[in-house]
Amino acid sequence: MSTAAAAHPPYSMPRVTLGRAGTATLLLLPIALVNAMGFIVPVLNLLRMSFYEALAGGGIRETFTLASWSGLFRDAFYVDLIVNSIVVSLSITFATLLVSYPIALYLHRSSGRWRTFLTVLVISPLLTSAVVRTYGWIALLADQGPIVGSIAALGFTPPRLMFNTTGVVIGLTEILMPYMILSLLAGFGRLDPRVEEAAMTLGARPSQTFWRVILPLTVPGIALGCLLCFVLAVSSFITPKLLGGGRVFLLATEIYDQAIVTLNWPLAATLSMLVLIIFGAALAVYARVLRVIE
Amino acid sequence: MSKLCTLLAVSGVALAISSPAFAETVTLAAYSGIFQDHYTKAVVEPFMKANPNIKIEFYGMPNSAQMLGTLRAQKAAPQIDIVIMDVSVAKAGTDEGLFDKIDESVSKNVADLYPAARAEGVGGVAVTFDNLVLLYNKEQVKTAPTSWNALWDKQYAGKVTIPAVPDIQGTTLTIIANKMAGGDDYKKSVEAGIKKLGELAPNVQTWDPKPDVYTPIANGQAALGIGWNARAQVYADTSGGKLGVVLPQEGSGFQINMINLVKNAPQSAAAKTFIDYALKPETQAAFTEEMFYAPTNSKAKISPTALSRTAAGAMDKMIAIDWIAVAGIRDAITEQWRRRIIPLSR
């Protein structure tokens, strides 16, 4: 009697079966709605704004003109600006990769409490805002700062480390390091210590092991980290603004100037769309890299 | 769903009836930071004491462009009644139909304003005059400079800080440099000024001082720079004698803040009462004594000490800058700076 009741519970909830596709749609619906309202609609607005006409003094006429777009490619300043943004962002990405890779590799190989401690150490800079860290760099790189001071004390003429591209690259490299390290770690899954041991057993020198075994196995992590850092570097605004000294013209700072100072919203919108196109291109390159290594 | 709607509607109504603790709340948008502190003390608080049924809500924003952006976004249903912003931005706002006209029917005081307080095609009228000044660090520059030429002095190479165009401090400096270099009418050409500023470029440490131009000069990171008089005077007092302010012998140019009445403002009548108060000679005098903006009302009585810290005593040396005309050539000036001035400082 009692076993029968347990096998067939008298009260059972009415079941609604949705099927896999239905469940997936239902689960995706909230985020799709949020994204549509918080991202797609504003981007479409921006796209429409980029075809408005900018009047002298900050006015906007709601018409359809290609003036902002064509002006971008006819004006050497903007061509330079775009090239410069990409080159500077690529340099920052490369520098970040170079300094983060050894740290990530060491972290990947460590274990236990030590690994937890180091991971917390890597993530801890993210607890401080980029503004505060940038002001920290201003104190370090200033003309009266410790770095310039030590170079001068050694008898060399110190180079200018701040208010130029050098300062922007130094500042952003440090600020983006946690993202790079975490992405590298996430992509190091295929790196099995036994493979390295096998290479050594077969007589490979440490450098050979690195170039022919470790590096190829960590490409997914490198690709992910570079994509993330490049995108963050192109869109970063506060660090170039504070460390660039008005000499470094980048897309993000120019968008700010056009939107907030000159009040040329159509041009600001056009530049924003251009940043989106650059992101699309970066994603395409990333997808291609992943396809090649698969 | 219908429950949610009810909830929203109820809380909306609750919000609507809970806010007017005073009969009318007027929202005034203007600069945040020290402008807000001093304007609140010298103008807003005395106004509320004199008009106990009107509450002024000061909505501080960092710059005029952001105010314009906010007004644009609220065009269908304005939340702001009054805005104090730079004249060229006020012109753009007027062109977009964001402002009502302020004339004698709004405030009798409009009749007493200086001629420069009214600009063609701008709905509002001037509420403050400010002017560009030379700033110096008193520890690094021992004798007070008397001329803008100090900026070009090679002994301060790498120690000069200039807010570059599109900031209008850079625009004003271009017009001053143009006059110094013997240039003719700046509205026709600023070629001479651009050339002269090209010679200044190698001295420049930063074209984008942060958080503002006054701080790095007061703390010694830079030795010389340019800034606005009113703020410079306040910071000179608070810097413990480190920041020096000079109105150079070659004169300077004015920056004008207009007070504007937002079209379809929710509290239009009370807003007009405040505008009338803000333009009164007594209010104008009080704000000049407080923050050293020159008054726009010709009947304002100012103490000689405060007056000497504004440009009011040197009117004959001032360059009359037509900011509405400058708005038309601003893009061209910016282009010249980026191609021919800033690259020379790399």
Q: How would CATH label the architecture of B130-254+319-345?
A: 3-Layer(aba) Sandwich (3.40)
pLDDT at A142: 86
The DSSP annotation for A88-119 comes to HHHHHHHHHHHHHHHHHHHHHH--HHHHHHHH
Q: Which residue of A has its CA nearest to B92?
A: A59
B306 to chain A, any CB pair closer than 8 A? The answer is no
B70 to chain A, any CB pair closer than 8 A? The answer is no
Yes or no: say if B119 and B256 are a contact pair by the CB < 8 Å rule: yes
A interface with B, Cβ–Cβ < 8 A, is 55-60, 77, 142-144, 160, 163-164, 241-242, 244-247, 249, 257, 259-264
Q: Under an 8 A CB cutoff, do A144 and B221 touch? A: yes
Strand B82-86 to strand B24-31: parallel, antiparallel, or no bridges (unpaired)? parallel
What residues of A are in contact with residue B324 (Cβ under 8 Å)?
A: 57
Can you name the CATH fold of A76-293? MetI-like fold (1.10.3720)
Does an H or E element contain B134, and which? strand B125-137
B161 to chain A, any CB pair closer than 8 A? The answer is no
Task: Give per-residue pLDDT as tens, A136-185.
Answer: 999 899 888 899 889 888 988 888 888 999 999 999 999 999 999 999 99
What residues of A are in contact with residue B342 (Cβ under 8 Å)?
A: 246-247
pLDDT band at A5 (very low <50, low <70, confident <90, very high): very low
Q: Which residue of B has its CA nearest to A249?
A: B338
Size of interface A-B (CB pairs under 8 A): 76
- Report the candidate in A254, A269, A237, A265 with the shortest Cα–Cα distance to residue B166: A254
Residue partners of B339: CB distance under 8 A and separation at least 6? A77
CA dist., res. A254 & res. A32, Å (int): 31
Yes or no: say if A265 and A60 are a contact pair by the CB < 8 Å rule: yes
Q: Under an 8 A CB cutoff, do B339 and A77 touch? A: yes
Checking ipTM against 0.85, whether it exceeds it is no
Residue B339, both tokens: 């191609």
pLDDT at A8: 56
> How many residues are given for chain A?
294
Task: Give per-residue pLDDT as tens, A12-70.
Answer: 566 666 778 888 889 999 999 999 999 999 999 999 999 999 887 677 888 899 989 99
What residues of A are in contact with residue B167 (Cβ under 8 Å)?
A: 261
pLDDT at B190: 93
Q: Under an 8 A CB cutoff, do B345 and A249 touch? A: no
pLDDT at A54: 87
B206 to chain A, any CB pair closer than 8 A? The answer is yes
pLDDT at A13: 60
pLDDT at B16: 46
Q: Under an 8 A CB cutoff, do B207 and A245 touch? A: yes
CA dist., res. B60 & res. B35, Å (int): 9
Q: Under an 8 A CB cutoff, do A262 and B91 touch? A: no
B202 to chain A, any CB pair closer than 8 A? The answer is no
Task: Spell out the domain ranges in chain B.
Answer: 20-128+256-312, 130-254+319-345
Yes or no: say if B295 and B302 are a contact pair by the CB < 8 Å rule: yes
Can you name the CATH fold of B20-128+256-312? D-Maltodextrin-Binding Protein; domain 2 (3.40.190)
Task: Give per-residue pLDDT as tens, A217-257.
Answer: 999 999 999 999 999 999 999 999 999 999 999 999 999 98
- B20-128+256-312 and B130-254+319-345 in the same fold: yes
Yes or no: say if B90 and B264 are a contact pair by the CB < 8 Å rule: no
Task: Spell out the domain ranges in chain A.
Answer: 76-293
B139 to chain A, any CB pair closer than 8 A? The answer is no
Q: Under an 8 A CB cutoff, do B327 and A164 touch? A: no
Q: Under an 8 A CB cutoff, do A261 and B166 touch? A: yes
**Closest residue to A57, CB basis, from B92, B205, B207:** B92
- Residue A4: pLDDT over 70: no
- Name residue, tokens 């994204």: A35
In this prediction, the residues of chain B whose per-residue pLDDT falls under 50 are 1, 12-20
CA dist., res. B236 & res. B252, Å (int): 19
Task: Give per-residue pLDDT as tens, B193-219.
Answer: 999 999 999 999 999 998 899 999 999
pLDDT at A158: 84
